[in-house]
Every structure is written in C-alpha cells, then in structure tokens.
Amino acid sequence: MSKIIDAKGLTKTYPSSAKVVDDVSFAVDEGEIFSLLGPNGAGKTTTIRMLTTLTSVTAGEAFVAGRSVQREPGEVRSLIGVVPQEVTLDNELKGIENLLLAAKLQHMPTAEAKERAGELLRLVELEESGGNRVATYSGGMKRRLQLVTALIHQPQVLFLDEPTVGLDIQTRTRIWDYIKRLNREQGLSIFMTTHYLEEADQLSDIVAIMDRGTIRVSGSPSELKANLRGDVLTLSVNGGVDLTELLRSLPNVTEVTRTDGSYRLKLPRVESALPAIITSIASQDLQITETSFSKPTLDQVFLEVTGRSMRDALESNTNGHGDRYASAHASETK
C-alpha cells in the first residue's frame, strides 16, 4: 500500500517559544484513518497545519499525496480537504452557497459542482436545509456541512482537526458514522487530531500518541492496548484460602496480586483464560463470589507512555503546566 502522508523529522519552532513540534516522523497508508491523539497543546494542531501548508516547517520534510508540503504547496492544497477545529462557514450564505463557493475555489465546473453539492448534502442529511442560511443551522448541522465542504472536490486526503470537539454525544456519533462511511465506501484517507480517547479508539486504523511536541508511540488501537500485556480480571473467592500460587501457575496469567481476599490477575485475553481459572478454583472446593474484568484502554496506554493520564494532561495543560504549548498554539492561530 502506498503512503498518502509521509512526514520525516517534522519540526516547528516559533521565535518566542520552545519547539512546538519536535522531530516528528510518521507515515499514513492510503485508505487509512490515522489519528494524532493527545491533550491540548501537545502539538497536534501545529502538525496538521504544517501538513496542510498553513504553517511553515522549521525542519524536516513532509509529503502529502506524493507532493512536498514545502515545495509544492499549491498542488497539495488541491489534493486535500481541510476541516478546521472551529466552525468556519459563512453564516450569511446558504448551505449550498458555501459548498458552491468552495467548489469555485477548487476550480470545478459549475454543473459538476452543483451535482456534487447535492450528493454531499444528501450524504449528511442536509438536503432539505441546504437552501437555508447557515446562521439558522444548529451546531451539529454546521459541523456536518463543514465536513462535506472539505469534500466538494473529492480530495485524496481529508484532514480533520478535532472534528467533534464541543459536540453532544449524539451529534458526535453521527459525525463518526459519516467519517467511517467516507473511509469504507469511498476509500478516503483521513488524518485527524483528537483528544477524545473513544474517538481515536473507535475510528482509527492507526493511533499516534502525541505529548509535548513528540510522538511517544503509534500503532493500531488493539496493538497499543495489547502491548500493555492484556486484560485485568478481579476475583473474590470464599473460604479464606490463599490461591495466589495456584492462580500464578495457570497458563497465560502474567501477574497476580491479592488484596483483602480478592485477586487481581493480568492476562492477555480474559475470555480464553477464564474457563481454566474457574475450573482450578472449583477443584479446591471453593466458589467465586464476585468477578469483574476490564479491557485496557487508550488512556492506560497514554499513562504508560507519558507517565500521566489524559485527564491529568488535559488539566495540567489548562492550569499552567502546558502554557508554553498553549501559548505557542495561540500565537499560531491568531
């Protein structure tokens, strides 16, 4: 599969701040959904802005759809669609007028533009409100229109910067469905940034965790979680007998800790190990009184690679610790 995005040593430094993006390298295969996951101020938006030619590259190089971001910015712009973090539609224009203006600026013939605009409005279920001014749209409708405005010219790559930030869960789920459909049905390659763990987990083929300007780890969500060495199973057993050694001897159990009569087991896949665990406890004439298990999450992956949870990272970046990144980001978006 060919690479639709190839970034090597991408670095961005602003004169008044530290490195906002520091020697970042990654590749996105054609037809893939690639997510850059990290807290605010991690350098995600700066990375997406460099790839979309809106921010200059201090060092390194990047290719999008085979074109150099630095040397062929015009060509890159005609091959990509960009959906920024904020809704940036023209409120005074009608929905369809926003689409047709985008088509004109992408040099599409009028007849083709009108046909495509109709298709896209149907795709995001806005065909009935396409003739209304955007000022009358709800927040979710605006996001849906913004998404398809970036698709009017059938780009090879779609860049989404925090596509569902600030949306309610129903609208967010709907946007996810559109993104999945665009990827599956039209084979569209998608590069997105997000600080929502669930969003990255649900949508992405590949997730790269970014923190403080660098990519800490990348892989498919299942790989990243599997690297944490599996699920956690918690058991309570009657009888007061210490079963630690017995449980440790079972195949696939990698770690056992006993606390107040309950056991916490780490194992690659709880589903495959559970029958053996139940049988061995029953063979001791004991009964399991309580059980629960958890699958590893991307938050645990984030914790593992950065030493802090996403929630802590988000809080610290709004409370001062991440100010240097936040201010760099602010200066860039002015």
Partner 1 sequence: MISETLALGRRSLTKWTRNPFAVIVTSLQALFWLALFGNSFNPANALQSNAAGSLGPLQQAFGGAATYITFLTPGVISIVALTGMSFMGVDLVFDRVNGYLDVLRAFPIPRTSIYFGGVIQNVAKGMIAAPITFLIGLVVPDGLRLGQGFGVLNLVGIFATIALLTTVFSTFFTGIAISVKSTDSFFAAVNFLTFPIMFTSTAFFPLSFFPGWLKPIAQVNPISLASDAMRLLVVNGRLSASQTSAFIGDWVGLLAFGMVFALVGILMARSALKAR
Residues that bind partner 1 in the complex, under the rule CB under 8 A: 52-56, 73-75, 77-78, 80, 82, 84, 86, 88, 90, 92-93, 97, 101-102, 104-107, 133, 332-334
Closest separation between CB of residue 140 and partner 1, Å?
19
Nearest to partner 1 of 91, 244 (CB atom): 91
Nearest to partner 1 of 53, 300 (CB atom): 53
Q: Give dist(CA 233, CA 266) in Å, integer.
A: 6
Residue 18: closest CA among 213, 215, 210: 213
Place of tokens 């997406």: 48
Nearest to partner 1 of 152, 313 (CB atom): 152
Q: Give dist(CA 35, CA 301) in Å, integer.
A: 15
Sheet holding 206-211, edge to edge: 80-83, 157-161, 189-194, 33-37, 206-211, 214-219
Nearest to partner 1 of 312, 332 (CB atom): 332
Closest separation between CB of residue 63 and partner 1, Å?
16
SS3 223: helix
Q: Give dist(CA 139, CA 165) in Å, integer.
A: 11
Closest separation between CB of residue 48 and partner 1, Å?
11
235 in Cβ contact with 290 (< 8 Å): yes
Closest separation between CB of residue 179 and partner 1, Å?
19
Closest separation between CB of residue 78 and partner 1, Å?
4
Nearest to partner 1 of 67, 225 (CB atom): 67
SS3 185: helix
267 in Cβ contact with 231 (< 8 Å): yes
Nearest to partner 1 of 66, 261 (CB atom): 66
Closest separation between CB of residue 272 and partner 1, Å?
48
